[in-house]
Amino acid sequence: MVKKYLSKIYMGIIFIFLYAPIVVLAVFSFNESKSRGHWTGFTLKWYVDLFHDRDIRLAFYYTISIAIISAIISTIIGTIAAIGINSMKGKAKSLILNVNYLPVVNPDIVTGISLMILYIAFNMDFGFNTMLISHIVFNIPYVILCILPKLKQLDVHMTEAAMDLGATPMYALRKVIIPEIKPGIVTGFLMAFTLSIDDFIISYFTKGEGVTNLSIVIYSMARRGVRPTINALSTIMLSVVLILMILINKRTNGMEKAKKLKEKR
């Protein structure tokens, strides 16, 4: 009995450790005074400040547009690639999977500088395009990793049956394969979107004149010290990611439950 309480207390401390800083950050974004240690009263002025700041508005615009465009493009490329990879065999398949895995395991800083070197080798102007391509580069592997398990579960006989009944391969793809792996595609899209709005390091090395994202703005402000506007901005970003995460988690849980039901039958 004592042991049970001890473990509850232990887990409680761990979660306080993990979440208290985030809560503190959010609470102090509503604090009246600029010096951050004391609570002096509730205000929304730091949020209002955010909307008047031109740089932040611009960074917000770039963050969202890059997240949407890169998520859409990487979902399309990733889905097609995953279907192809799934029907490959042997060494070629494992080689492709390993190279695909590289941006996932590489430290972000190495991915960032290697892309930066690539753009300079190609004489590209740094700006919206370089940042967008970089986000697509690191998003696709995650999309593929989301879709591949769904493809593995797919019953091969279904496509064969469809084609025996006269469907062309393209028709079978559209009417059988895509609907079956749709949950994986949607999760992949959400994940790509989340990763994109969250990214700092790779964007930092591939940003251009006048084109930044919110993380870069926060970094350059935070280097000079704590400011309530950063707290406000951070709170907004954290809430967005929190909502997206709960969505992704609900989806995967729902999928697992559906799978279990299917197995029971």
Considering only 159, 196, 212, 229, the residue that binds other proteins (CB under 8 A) is: 159
Give phi and psi for 211, each to the nearest 5: -110, 110
Task: Choose one: 49-57, 61-69, 113-121, 257-265; the region binding other proteins (CB under 8 A).
Answer: 113-121
| Whole-Å CA distances, 260 to 70, 103, 180, 205, 248 | 33, 33, 16, 44, 18
- Name the one residue in this structure whose structure tokens are 């395009």: 129
State how far the Cα of 32 lies from the Cα of 214, in Å rounded to an integer: 23
d(CA 91, CA 64): 39
Q: Residue 160 interacts with other proteins (CB under 8 A)?
A: yes
**190-219 footprint of other proteins as x/- string (CB under 8 A):** -x--x---x-xx---x---------x--xx
Piece of 9-17, 44-52, 60-68, 257-265 that binds other proteins (CB under 8 A)? 9-17
Binders of other proteins in range 16-45 (CB under 8 A): 17-19, 21-22, 24-25, 28, 35-38
Nearest distance from residue 68's CB to other proteins, in Å? 18
Stretch that binds other proteins, among 43-51, 56-64, 141-149, 257-265 (CB under 8 A): 141-149
Which alpha helices (DSSP H) does 28-89 contain, by range?
45-52, 54-86
Looking at beta carbons only, is 68 or 133 nearer to other proteins?
A: 133
Residue 62 binds other proteins (CB under 8 A): no
Q: How far apart are CA 108 and CA 90, in angstroms?
A: 29
Q: What percentage of the chain's residues is helix, strand, coil (to nearest 5)?
A: 80, 0, 15
Is 178 an interacting residue with respect to other proteins (CB under 8 A)?
Answer: no
C-alpha dihedral, 163 to 157 to 82 to 80, nearest 10°: 10
Contact between 124 and other proteins per CB under 8 A: no
Tokens of 45: 């002025």
Of positions 16, 44, 105, 258, contacts other proteins by CB under 8 A: 105
